Structure 1
Amino acid sequence: MSANFPLHGQQSQQSSSQQQHFYNNNNRKRRAAPPLGLRELEKALDMTKFCEQLRRLIDQPIKIPSTLSMCPAGQVAKSRHVPGKAKRDLLSVDDIWADDTEKQKEDKKCLYNVEDVDEERKWLLDLLLEESDADSGGEEQITDQDLREILKIHSKRRKFQKEYHSDLMNSQYTYYGAGLISAKDRFNENQQKIVRKEQQQQQMSSNSIQ
């Protein structure tokens, strides 16, 4: 009676299959579902949609205004920077509109909320509608001295800001500039509210003295 002994190759296959089964079991243990907090964090940090939106924006063709698309060679030469003259800003809109300054202002008014602008804030609106071509200096390197000056100005600003907000009447200017770029200009409404409150307090104090 002959015994059935496994051959050497069969032993190797059985051993490798057992090892593979052991590794698979360990991998199943390692691949357990992560905690709910970790899954929420991964979902919040997922940048897939943002990257897809960014890729679509990059793939879109750049829209160049018609006044710049067919620029004659003579005008290109004139647009070069001349020493001693203010450098033209890259984002300047002067080349998009015609030379009519009033037409430029009318077109740019649609960017701001001008419905409730009175004489008190007209100067601010005019300032926003003006286009400056002076070099902003954004390419200059900031030195340590510049940083010290910035920190000094910031410290003074916080000091004066605290003194400024201690006066109730100064809060009437809360929406002085922000109202021009908001969907609803709350400056007049807030100003009237603060003025009425101040008048009521003055009247109450005068009555108490009497």
Structure 2
Amino acid sequence: MKGLFTLSILSEKAICVFLNKEIGLEAHREVLKLKETIESQKWPWLLETVPAYNSLGIFVDISFFESNTSLLIFFENWFSENIIDVNDASFPKTLIKSIPIKYDGVDLSFVSNYCKIPVNEVIAIHSQAVYTVAMIGFLPGFPYLLGMDERIFVPRKSTPRLKVAKGSVGIGGFQTGIYPSESPGGWQIIGTTALELFDLENLSYLSIGDKVKFKPI
């Protein structure tokens, strides 16, 4: 497996496996395949795996190891001895979750001007795509969505806002996402949704691997 992955220490009880591939749907599918393979080992010390765009965090009960360095060595040896066929990686079949959205964002005109596309076309492009939830963060329930059309890629704000309203739908570079609660943020806000993305009882409405489509209202 040498060359496919890079391993590094993430914390005193975790390592991170980086897939040596550009961020995208193909890389993310392979991350999910890696997650599935590692979890199938049923190691008693494995606590959690956390996938991101092109990496996987592996959290363990470190009492089973002498140190996080010995944990890293374990996985270096494990990867060298095992073949993980990431070529057959695929997303699990899932229903497309519809997100109602009002395209009333304060930065919609900026996106239109930056991309040199009329506002109604920006809306059409954004709402016609089917997105994949690649990871959840930086707020509880915040979905990072892959699959946006490159015609509406726009940079984040050079100076983030101190307050972005709950339910704001934004674009940041190649990705789109939804603020589940009020927060500082630097994404370009193109719309809002009233859908609750996170609560303490049910936790996150969206999960990694879910398919999402925005429905203009």
TM class by shorter-chain length?
Answer: under 0.3
Q: Which structure's CA Rg is the greater one?
A: 1
Q: Which has the larger share of helix?
A: 1
Q: TM-score, normalised by structure 2?
A: 0.22
Give the alignment's TM-score, normalised by structure 1: 0.22
